[in-house]
């Protein structure tokens, strides 16, 4: 099929390359000419395992190309909208200006019979609103929403072999032209047994928001238990193991620590609340405000623990921060708990030296005064306190004896509860996990 993907960020670049891998002819469109040039050379503009290889394979096959000119989408018959929906500056709701602009571009360069499929995460009611903006002179297009569930760090696998597909089409009928076209787009994963739900626009929009709200709630629930554990001498990791054995609960996404961040979960739960207020349903999702607060409290808790461990507070003390990305295998620092803690400690006067294998440049772009180094060892030398905030493998595998020889004070905060406390305590360290004895 001939496809276009409008927006080549964390979502669109991977989606475009994945669609070419599935055998389609794809043009990826982005307003950023530098990014388009990079993608066209087969260079991933951000760190995502496997993306570089997928891009190169697509470009070599001749089925994948990129353009900064929106007119290039006219060569396709089905257009994916994959632009960002960040939090509004100065508000909790989603900024839909990029979605609106992308939709206008597709209408400007598309033709009668084209299919327009949104992938971006949008508040419920957006597709209905977009369909109402189609002018009389615009081409007659069919509109659908096909929410994306990819996780950064696993985006390639999530795109090629998704755990489910959701097609939101007008009226929710499988007979809809867009449902049939999407079934062709995803013919391979569907043949391989990927579950498919064909539904209406509103449900498709809500599925994504509900999934992220649920995941955020699960993480904040266990972090609330961590707060209780801290006050009572219980251990939240054992608690999570014990309740996670109940198949109805499940152990995944029950890792207590410094909490969730990134470009999705935080802004999605805020946008959901903003939309609920518009719908007169503020009370229905008021719990999400608590989830957000629990999550943000974990960041302050780490800063507080740092002060406690250092005795006289962080001012003038050398602190090694391990990790800046919001999670491992990503260079994304949007709403990153790790970056926020590093900046808060620096603001409190600490001499912070941070290491992250891939996110240091993005972190410095947000906070140019942040001191970053290339390796954990460089950050550790002379540190009076070590704080692990992103569970990159090279940090979780640190040896307590070897690390002790580098630092000037054996104090460690395990912000992700991934180290073995006994091993660290045995090597003479003062160890603090979050919600751990």
Query: Which residues have a catalytic role annotated?
Result: 264
Stretch touching ligand UDX by CB under 6 A, among 193-201, 231-239, 259-267, 380-388? 259-267
Q: Kindly identify the residues of this chain, within the stretch 190-229, that bind ligand UDX according to CB under 6 A.
A: 212, 215, 219
Q: Residues binding ligand UDX: what is the number (CB under 6 A)?
A: 20
Q: Does 265 bind ligand UDX (CB under 6 A)?
A: yes
Residue 255 interacting with ligand UDX (CB under 6 A)? yes
Q: Which is nearer to ligand UDX, 220 or 403 (CB)?
A: 220
Query: Which residue lies nearer to ligand UDX by CB, 36 or 182?
Result: 182
CB of 139 to ligand UDX, least distance (A): 30
- For residue 67, the SS3 value is strand
Contact with ligand UDX (CB under 6 A): which of 80, 260, 395, 424? 260
Q: Minimal distance in Å, beta carbon 4 to ligand UDX?
A: 21
Q: By rule CB under 6 A, what string of x and - marks binding of each residue 147-176 to ligand UDX?
A: -xxxxx------------------------
Cβ 121 to ligand UDX, closest distance in Å? Answer: 7
Coil vs helix vs strand at 17: helix
Shortest distance (Å) from residue 216 CB to ligand UDX: 8
- Torsion, Cα 150 152 154 157, to 10 degrees, reads 40
Which residues is 64 bridged to in the sheet? 26
Among 186, 326, 392, 429, binds ligand UDX (CB under 6 A): 326
3-state class of 139 per DSSP? coil
Binders of ligand UDX in range 390-419 (CB under 6 A) = none
Written as six digits, the tokens of 102 are 């992308």
Interaction of residue 80 with ligand UDX, rule CB under 6 A:
no
428 vs 268, 376, 425, CA distance in Å? 42, 20, 5
Per-residue binding string, ligand UDX, 110-149, x by CB under 6 A, is --------------------------------------xx
Which is nearer to ligand UDX, 25 or 48 (by Cβ)? 48
Q: How far is the CB of 340 from ligand UDX (least distance, A)?
A: 11
In the three-class reduction of DSSP (H, G, I as helix; E, B as strand; rest coil), residue 87 is classed as: strand
Cα 178 from Cα 358, distance rounded (Å):
39
Instruction: Report the nearest approach of ligand UDX to the CB of residue 93 (Å).
Output: 18
> φ, ψ for residue 277 (rounded to 5)?
-60, -45
CB nearer to ligand UDX: give 165 or 265: 265
* Residue 327 makes contact with ligand UDX by CB under 6 A: yes
94 phi/psi in degrees, rounded to 5: -85, 140
Window of 94-102, 226-234, 250-258, 269-277 that interacts with ligand UDX by CB under 6 A: 250-258
Strand order in the sheet with 385-388: 371-373, 351-355, 318-322, 385-388, 411-414, 430-433
- Torsion angle, alpha carbons of 230, 413, 325, 349, to 10: 110
Q: How far is the CB of 334 from ligand UDX (least distance, A)?
A: 9
Our CB check for ligand UDX shows the closer of 218 and 410 to be 218
Tokens of 338: 């790790």
* From candidates 12, 45, 261, 415, binder to ligand UDX by CB under 6 A: 261
Q: Contact, 3 vs 78, CB < 8 A?
A: yes
Which residue, 261, 335, 347, 360, is CA-closest to 303?
347
Q: Does 262 contact ligand UDX by CB under 6 A?
A: yes
Nearest to 271 by CA among 216, 201, 332, 328: 216
Q: What are the start-end ranges of the H helices in 74-200?
A: 97-109, 126-132, 155-160, 177-185, 187-191
- 102 or 150, CB closer to ligand UDX? 150
- Give the nearest distance from C-beta 155 to ligand UDX in angstroms: 8
Q: Which residue's entry shows tokens 């709701």? A: 93
**In this structure, is the dihedral angle defined by the CA atoms of residues 200, 205, 206 and 210, taken in order, positive or negative?**
positive
The 331-370 site mask, x for binding ligand UDX (CB under 6 A), equals ----------------------------------------
* Residue 234 CB, nearest approach to ligand UDX (Å): 18
- Torsion, Cα 42 46 47 51, to 10 degrees, reads -40
Give whichever of 200 and 335 is closer to ligand UDX, judged by the CB atom. Answer: 335
User: 253-262 as b/e, with b when 16 or more CB fall inside 10 Å?
Assistant: bbbbbbbbbb
Please, which residue, 77 or 158, has the CB nearer to ligand UDX?
A: 158
d(CA 227, CA 222): 9
Residues at the contact surface with ligand UDX, assessed by CB under 6 A: 148-152, 212, 215, 219, 253-255, 257, 259-262, 264-265, 326-327
């Amino acid at each position: 099929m001939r496809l276009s993907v409008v927006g080549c960020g964390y979502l669109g670049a991977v989606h475009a390359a994945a669609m070419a891998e599935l055998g389609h002819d794809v043009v990826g469109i982005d307003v950023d000419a530098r990014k388009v040039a990079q993608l066209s050379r087969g260079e991933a503009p951000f760190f995502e395992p496997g993306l570089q290889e997928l891009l190169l394979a697509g470009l070599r096959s001749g089925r994948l190309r990129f353009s900064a000119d929106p007119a290039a989408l006219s060569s396709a018959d089905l257009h994916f909208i994959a632009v960002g929906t960040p939090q509004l500056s100065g508000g909790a709701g989603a900024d839909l200006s990029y979605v609106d602009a992308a939709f206008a571009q597709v209408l400007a360069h598309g033709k009668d019979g084209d299919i327009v499929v949104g992938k971006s995460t949008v508040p419920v009611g957006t597709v209905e609103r977009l369909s109402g903006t189609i002018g009389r002179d615009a081409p007659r297009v069919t509109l659908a929403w096909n929410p994306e569930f990819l996780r950064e760090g696993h985006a390639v696998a999530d795109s090629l072999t998704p755990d489910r597909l959701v097609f939101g089409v007008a009226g929710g009928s499988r007979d809809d032209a867009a449902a049939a076209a999407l079934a062709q787009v995803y013919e391979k994963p569907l043949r391989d047994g990927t579950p498919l739900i064909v539904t209406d626009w509103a449900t498709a929009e809500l599925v994504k928001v509900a999934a992220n709200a649920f995941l955020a709630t699960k993480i904040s629930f266990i972090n609330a238990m961590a707060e209780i554990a801290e006050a009572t001498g219980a251990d939240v990791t054992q608690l999570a193991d014990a309740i996670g054995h109940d198949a109805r609960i499940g152990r995944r996404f029950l890792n207590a620590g410094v909490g969730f961040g990134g470009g999705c979960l935080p802004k999605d739960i805020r946008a959901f609340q903003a939309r609920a207020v518009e719908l007169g349903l503020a009370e229905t999702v008021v719990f999400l405000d608590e989830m957000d607060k629990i999550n943000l409290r974990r960041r302050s808790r780490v800063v507080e623990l740092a002060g406690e461990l250092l005795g006289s507070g962080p001012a003038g003390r050398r602190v090694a921060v391990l990790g800046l990305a919001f999670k491992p295998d990503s260079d994304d620092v949007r709403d990153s708990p790790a970056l926020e803690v590093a900046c808060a400690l620096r603001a409190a006067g600490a001499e912070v030296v941070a290491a992250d294998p891939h996110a240091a440049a993005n972190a410095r772009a947000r906070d140019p005064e942040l001191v970053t180094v290339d390796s954990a060892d460089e950050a550790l030398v002379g540190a009076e306190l070590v704080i692990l905030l992103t569970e990159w493998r090279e940090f979780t595998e640190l040896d307590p004896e070897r690390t002790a020889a580098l630092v000037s004070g054996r104090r460690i905060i395990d912000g992700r509860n991934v180290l073995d406390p006994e091993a660290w305590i045995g090597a003479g360290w003062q160890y603090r996990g979050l919600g751990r004895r």
